[in-house]
Amino acid sequence: MKSTSYCLAIGLFTPVALAGCNKAVSGQNVIASANASNSSVASTSKDPITSAESAAPANIARDAAIVVPDAKGDMQIVRKGKNGWTCMPDTPSTPGPDPMCWDANAGKWLAAYMGHKTPPTGVVGVIYMLAGGSDPGNTDPYADKPHQGEDWVTTGPHIMVVGSKEVLAGYPEGVKPDTSAPYVMWAGTPYAHLMIPVTR
């Protein structure tokens, strides 16, 4: 997950990608000017739909809503979804690729994160980042660059499980996680979640 992304361009979603967004994301609903023309969308990729779809398995991505930020950082719907999932393309302000796709429950978690609010309890969500991700750190949910003495945390293809403190038990955490195995990101904060590497 992250916090320099889209809304600052635009970050994960993965949170870098979502921090600072002016509009909330909830499931496949983006509270924004959904009627804006595609020409008003700030393109961060030559093909934002292909980039966004690369985040999740094809059977999910092909029917997901696609959102991108406009020049003001407001999320715009590029394509309406049919399956309750929402995908966002890569954020160019991070070192590596980081498109993401989330289900409706993860949308509630992301909305809480973006609003600096406590996420709902008992609402477990899934976020796919099958192209991998780059985060400014593993401890500060709102960092937009690594803290002094730290580096970007690069994780290969992975799934995030959000909204469950119970699922975090027994998994390692810390400043320099081993990203080849499951680990906890943002431990000790309301936004702690499990990062699970997967093979593409």
- Write the pLDDT tens digit of every residue in 115-169: 999 999 889 999 999 999 989 999 999 998 999 888 899 999 999 999 999 999 9
Stretch 90-116: mean pLDDT: 92
Helix (H) or strand (E) holding 26: strand 25-26
pLDDT band at 95 (very low <50, low <70, confident <90, very high): confident
User: Distance between CA 74 and CA 97 in Å, rounded?
Assistant: 21
Q: Tens digits of per-residue pLDDT, 23-81? A: 334 444 432 322 233 333 333 446 899 999 999 999 999 999 999 977 777 889 999 99
Where do we find the tokens 């996680």? 177
Encoded tokens for 131:
């192209």
Residue 96 is predicted with a pLDDT of: 86
Which residues pair with residue 127 across a beta bridge? 102, 160
Closest CA to 107 of 43, 27, 34: 27
Q: Does 187 or 13 have the greater pLDDT score?
A: 187
Q: Which two tokens stand for residue 108?
A: 């509630």
What residues does each domain of the chain span? 25-197
Beta-carbon neighbour count of residue 152 at 10 Å?
16
pLDDT confidence of 12, banded at 50, 70, 90? very low
Q: Are 63 and 82 in contact (CB under 8 A)?
A: yes
- Inform me whether the pLDDT recorded for 176 exceeds 50: yes
Region 1-17: mean pLDDT is 38
Alpha helices per DSSP H over the chain: 48-53, 58-61, 104-114
Mean pLDDT, range 70-94, rounded to an integer: 89
